[in-house]
Amino acid sequence: MAAARLSRCDVVNPDTAQIWEWLDAVPDPEIPVISVVDLGIVRGVAWDGDTVEVAVTPTYSGCPAISVIAMDIETALQGHGIKDVRIKTQIAPAWTTDWLSDKGKARLTAYGIAPPNPSGGPDACPHCQSNAVERISQFGSTPCKAQWRCTACLEPFDYFKCL
């Protein structure tokens, strides 16, 4: 019996739900414990013919990691057999820390970064969970973080600023 041949018309593109799952495995280059999906910067996934288009909103307009993020997304999707990937930078609406997923916030805490808090400072130390914390500097390891310290365990930690 002859093997069946598939024409290009018979090839089915993966659905967007599957692509979202694959993107959930793409880490943020600055905070590798959180995915670009949990960070909330992937705004949309859609097929345009045989090209998958991924809309990405940078955390801020001058984000130096956006080109690395685009390359990582493209590499990941190509690794799953998608040949044509288009990354669309979407700057409006502007990214906000409200777009962080609960899973992402939990991963930040487990990694030692206090997640954003609308009150303007961390609820607790991500190391010992004490609420005895103080700000060291409004400027942290990246523009979106501030440096804080726990006065109970004396450990410094980054706080992901609300934006």
Whole-model pTM? 0.84
Is the confidence at residue 2, as pLDDT, over 60?
no
Give the pLDDT confidence of 106-137 residue by residue, as tens digits.
Answer: 999 999 999 999 888 999 999 999 999 999 99
Residue 11's pLDDT is 56
CA proximity to 122, closest of 162, 150, 159: 159
User: Cα-flanking dihedrals φ and ψ of residue 121, to 5°?
Assistant: -155, 165
pLDDT at 30: 87
pLDDT tens for each residue of 21-43 = 999 999 999 889 999 999 999 99
Q: What percent of the chain is modeled with pLDDT above 70? A: 93
- CATH (residue range 14-97): 3.30.300.130
Tokens 């690794």: give the residue.
79
Question: How does the average pLDDT of the chain come out, rounded?
Answer: 91
In the structure, what pLDDT confidence band is assigned to residue 3 with cuts at 50, 70 and 90?
Answer: very low
Angle, helix 66-79 to helix 16-23, in steps of 10 degrees = 120
Q: Of 137, 117, 136, 113, nearest to 125 (Cα)?
A: 113
| Helix or strand (DSSP H, E) at 43 | strand 42-48
- If we measure between CA atoms, which residue out of 80, 63, 78, 60 comes closest to residue 29? 63
- Give ranges for CATH 3.30.300.130 in the chain: 14-97
DSSP assignment letter at 153: T
Radius of gyration of the chain (CA): 20
- Distance of alpha carbon 15 from alpha carbon 86, whole angstroms: 16
Tell which wins on pLDDT, 2 or 69.
69
* Residue 6 scores a pLDDT above 90: no
**How many whole angstroms separate alpha carbon 18 and alpha carbon 34?**
19
